[in-house]
């Protein structure tokens, strides 16, 4: 059991299944935001996979936990501001993972065998033909050609809607703009944009020479590049494209994978290779191992093999779940491991003041890149693995992304190696500013106690000025560091007090070789700062850099608050916590569950009724406005779904109650800045009059349009769309998938309709 498993087990032991599920969903959504939207993952693929699998296990045991917002019901969302949106003509889905097992955990490819047998059972065939190809570690993209010309290129986005990145994709030389004679009328090709390993190393070397921060890995570099708004800058990055899938298509029939790959070759579209055909389970297992050997010489990152049913018509018969096809799976290999020597441990101070120990390693080639540094996370991790300077350590790259120390090779430990103490190593003070460091109660991280710490100020300012936050032009990492180091700012909000003369005179170079920022750049930056005063609340919440509050959570939070002042009072946040705790207390009083313990059933029911009345009275205004719902869930239980998520609610409360949060609020008040919400909804229950008045709908499964579009249509027609099937639901609108909601609807006798029936109702018709 590693640190991640240990911490999860300790916390889970004190939680109800629903609390654990809610927490896991919050954590996975947060990391989806970092991985897909920001290209800045905090955890490895292996750690993410453990979280995701635990969610799946809880959903199998408690299907009532599943909502349309559950991570298992949605693909990762990489939508960004600044790009035109494209609605995919057919859903652009993810793919389910199956994993190679470690020695001692049974057959290494047991999950592959299970997947193959599931295919056989679904098809009624003993030996369906499949194909096996490398799983490219890149960014999913779709290319749509009409009459042989590239109409657009788009990211996967949320699976229904993607960002139009045509201008950026046109800079990739291997992507044809015009197809040769004989091209299909309509051809949608799906694949991956990636960065070759050697080119990635060269790019990082150039960034080092320019004093710019290095990219963590090729996938992050690719994700960041395709979302640049300057196509000229994209053209300077070494991106490539490989096709591997088919979307919408109008042309001569394609029966098998070979037909599709032959079409790609005729059209001059680069494709994923090799694609190995297998006619039995044993051939499939051998092909997966063959890909594992071949992928190390492909020159780009891969972390698995994709197995697909070969027959395209049979794929269509099997269909998909809400997020992935049933006819394909990605077999994830165990990460490559190598030993090296830990030469030292350095300490980094993050933007939130956390001191992170970093292993300085003897350089080693691992999964296609040179690894010389790896995070050790915190003191507890160092102690658990007993890591010491001078040790020989086993390294791996989980998911070929983040280098990690697996364990120490004890037989090679030097006699002089001593236990490492982060506190002693830094003398109990922050290496950046010299202020004392401390551990918060219940947390393992050491933090700098100085909110104006230069290390924090520079990183907070860079984060504050990101495009997703306040989008302050020209104030990136280099400028932020210079502003802090030259004593011109100590917090991001100090930017608002700068003048054109001060900022223009900023020296970005050295005293010996000065380099002025310049008045022109300064004027642009100050103009952006002035515009930022009027940006909506959700952008400011993102800019604050509160842990777990990314762009998605910030947008959701702003929906329930008029402005920052209303949010900072904590009235709604405190209510959410109170309701969570009250519902937990209510359910703990369950007379049926406690009857065997000799508890008085009538007394318990009376206590429940009193508590329910108190909660309902306390939340009456918010219930009336549709912000929260307290629903009976049968068996003397209550259901409550926190619209902001349990973890995020508590993080927001802690921030605005902290000295740092109070200082920010005071400074914003002095600057006369009180950001207003762009998406505030006074009353979610206010419904228009129309053909759906009085009717409540639940949407599930894969639909032809993004779910929010249908929700708006329902609301405009006087109806109401909710996330959970209850006895009050009028119709369940189901696309492909949505199994658990279908089951619950059947149990409650709720009619299940499709999109066509919904349109009929919207138009005033009858079913």
Domains and CATH numbers, the chain: 3-69 (1.10.287.610), 97-332 (3.30.470.30), 337-448 (2.40.50.140), 454-532 (1.10.150.20), 542-670 (no CATH), 696-762 (3.40.50.10190)
**Which residues are paired to 186 by β-bridges?**
146, 250
**Starting from the edge strand earliest in sequence, which strands make up the sheet with 696-700, in order?**
720-722, 696-700, 731-734, 752-753
Q: Which residues contact 427 (CB under 8 A, 6 or more apart)?
A: none
**Res 258: pLDDT:** 97
Is 102 annotated as catalytic? no
Q: State the helix-helix crossing angle for 537-544 and 454-464, rounded to 10 degrees.
A: 150
Question: Can you tell me the distance from the alpha carbon of 47 to that of 27, in angstroms, rounded to the nearest whole number?
Answer: 11
Give the count of alpha carbons within 13 A of 197, CB side only. 19
DSSP strands (E only) in 217-368: 240-250, 276-278, 302-309, 328-332, 337-349, 354-366
Contact 584, 19 (CB under 8 A): yes
Question: Can you tell me the distance from the alpha carbon of 337 to that of 692, in angstroms, rounded to the nearest whole number?
Answer: 59
**Res 595: pLDDT:** 58
CA distances from 187 to 111, 269, 307, 492, 628 (A): 34, 11, 23, 48, 45
Q: State the helix-helix crossing angle for 646-657 and 659-670, rounded to 10 degrees.
A: 70
Instruction: Tell me which residue of 451, 251, 259 sits closest to 352, measured CA to CA.
Output: 451
Question: Can you tell me the distance from the alpha carbon of 213 to that of 478, in angstroms, rounded to the nearest whole number?
Answer: 9
**Which residues are paired to 460 by β-bridges?**
none
**Res 2: pLDDT:** 30
pTM (2 d.p.)? 0.49
Contact 41, 33 (CB under 8 A): no
Q: Which of 50, 85, 135, 727 is flagged as catalytic?
A: 135
Question: Can you tell me the distance from the alpha carbon of 128 to that of 357, in angstroms, rounded to the nearest whole number?
Answer: 51
Beta-strand pair 97-99/85-87: unpaired
Largest CA distance in the chain: 83
b/e code 96-112 from CB counts within 10 Å (16+ = b): bbbbbeeeeeeebbebb
Tokens of 614: 């108190």
Contact 455, 435 (CB under 8 A): no
**Res 381: pLDDT:** 86
- Which residues of the chain fall short of a pLDDT of 50? 1-13, 209, 211, 399
Question: Can you tell me the distance from the alpha carbon of 553 to that of 643, in angstroms, rounded to the nearest whole number?
Answer: 10
Tokens of 527: 């103009």
CA distances from 395 to 380, 398, 400, 458 (A): 18, 10, 11, 31
**Res 593: pLDDT:** 63
Q: Which residues contact 512 (CB under 8 A, 6 or more apart)?
A: none
Q: Which residues contact 736 (CB under 8 A, 6 or more apart)?
A: 319, 320, 321, 322, 701, 702
Q: What burial class does residue 758 get, using C-beta atoms within 10 Å of its C-beta: 0-12 exposed, 13-18 middle, 19+ buried?
A: buried
């Amino acid at each position: 059991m590693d640190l991640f498993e240990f911490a999860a087990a300790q916390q889970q032991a004190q939680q109800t299944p629903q609390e654990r599920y809610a927490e896991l969903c919050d954590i996975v959504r947060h990391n989806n935001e970092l991985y897909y939207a920001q290209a800045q993952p905090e955890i490895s693929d292996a750690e993410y996979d453990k979280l995701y699998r635990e969610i799946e296990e809880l959903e199998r045991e408690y299907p009532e936990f599943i909502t349309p917002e559950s991570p298992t019901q949605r693909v990762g969302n990489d939508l960004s501001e600044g790009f035109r949106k494209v609605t995919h003509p057919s859903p652009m889905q993810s793919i389910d993972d199956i994993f190679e097992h470690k020695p001692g955990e049974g057959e290494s490819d047991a999950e592959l065998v299970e997947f193959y047998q599931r295919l056989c059972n679904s098809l009624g065939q003993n030996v369906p033909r499949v194909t096996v190809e490398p799983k490219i570690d890149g960014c999913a993209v779709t290319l749509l050609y009409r009459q042989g010309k590239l109409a657009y290129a788009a990211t996967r986005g949320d699976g229904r809607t993607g960002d139009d990145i045509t201008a950026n994709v046109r800079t990739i030389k291997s992507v044809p703009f015009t197809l040769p004679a004989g091209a299909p009328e309509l051809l949608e090709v799906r694949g991956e944009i990636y960065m070759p390993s050697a080119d990635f190393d060269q790019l990082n070397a150039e960034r080092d020479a320019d004093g710019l921060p290095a990219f963590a890995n090729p996938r992050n570099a690719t994700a960041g590049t395709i979302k640049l708004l300057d196509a000229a800058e994209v053209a300077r990055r070494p991106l490539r494209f490989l096709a591997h899938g088919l979307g919408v298509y109008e042309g001569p029939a394609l029966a098998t994978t070979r037909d599709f790959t032959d079409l790609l070759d005729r059209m001059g579209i680069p494709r994923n290779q090799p694609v190995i055909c297998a006619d039995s389970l044993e051939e499939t297992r051998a092909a997966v191992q063959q890909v594992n050997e071949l992928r190390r010489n492909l020159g780009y990152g891969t972390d698995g093999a994709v197995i697909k049913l070969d027959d395209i018509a049979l794929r269509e018969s099997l269909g998909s779940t809400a997020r992935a096809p049933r006819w394909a799976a990605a077999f994830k290999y165990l990460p490559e491991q190598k030993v090296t020597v830990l030469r030292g441990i350095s300490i980094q101070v993050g933007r939130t003041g956390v001191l992170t120990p970093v292993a300085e390693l003897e350089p080693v080639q691992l999964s296609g890149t040179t690894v010389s540094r790896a995070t050790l996370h915190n003191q507890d991790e160092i102690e658990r693995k007993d890591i010491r300077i001078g040790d020989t350590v086993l390294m791996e790259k989980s998911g070929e992304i983040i280098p990690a120390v697996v364990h120490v090779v004890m037989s090679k430990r030097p006699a002089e190696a001593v236990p490492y103490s982060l506190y002693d190593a830094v003398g109990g003070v922050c290496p950046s500013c010299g202020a004392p460091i401390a551990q918060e109660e219940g947390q393992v991280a050491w933090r700098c106690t100085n909110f104006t710490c230069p290390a924090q100020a520079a990183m907070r300012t860079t984060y504050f000025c990101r495009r997703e936050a306040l989008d302050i032009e020209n104030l990136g990492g280099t400028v932020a560091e210079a502003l802090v180091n030259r004593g011109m700012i100590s917090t991001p909000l100090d930017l608002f007090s700068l003048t054109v003369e001060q900022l223009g005179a900023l020296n970005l170079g050295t005293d010996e070789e000065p380099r002025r920022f310049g008045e022109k750049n300064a004027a642009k930056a100050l103009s952006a700062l002035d515009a930022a005063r009027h940006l909506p609340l959700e952008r400011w919440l993102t800019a604050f850099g509160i842990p777990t509050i990314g762009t998605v959570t910030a947008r959701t939070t702003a929906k329930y608050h008029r402005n920052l002042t209303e949010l900072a009072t904590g009235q709604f946040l405190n209510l959410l916590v109170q309701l969570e705790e009250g519902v937990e207390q209510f359910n703990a009083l369950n007379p049926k569950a406690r009857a065997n313990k000799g508890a008085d059933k009538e007394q318990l029911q009376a206590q429940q009724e009193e508590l329910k009345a108190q909660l309902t009275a306390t939340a009456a205004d918010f219930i009336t406005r549709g912000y929260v719902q307290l629903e009976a869930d049968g068996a003397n239980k209550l259901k409550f779904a926190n619209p902001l998520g349990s973890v995020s609610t508590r993080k927001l409360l802690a921030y605005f109650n902290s000295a740092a949060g109070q200082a920010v609020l005071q400074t914003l008040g002095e600057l006369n800045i009180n950001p207003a919400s762009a998406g505030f909804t006074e009353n979610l229950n206010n419904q228009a009059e129309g053909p759906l008045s009085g009717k409540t709908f639940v949407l599930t499964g894969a639909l032809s349009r993004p779910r929010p579009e249908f929700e708006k249509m329902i609301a405009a027609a006087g109806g109401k769309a909710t996330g959970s099937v209850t006895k009050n639901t009028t119709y369940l609108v189901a696309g492909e998938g949505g199994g658990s909601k279908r089951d619950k609807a059947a149990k409650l006798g709720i009619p299940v309709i499709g999109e066509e029936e919904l349109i009929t109702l919207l138009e005033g018709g009858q079913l």
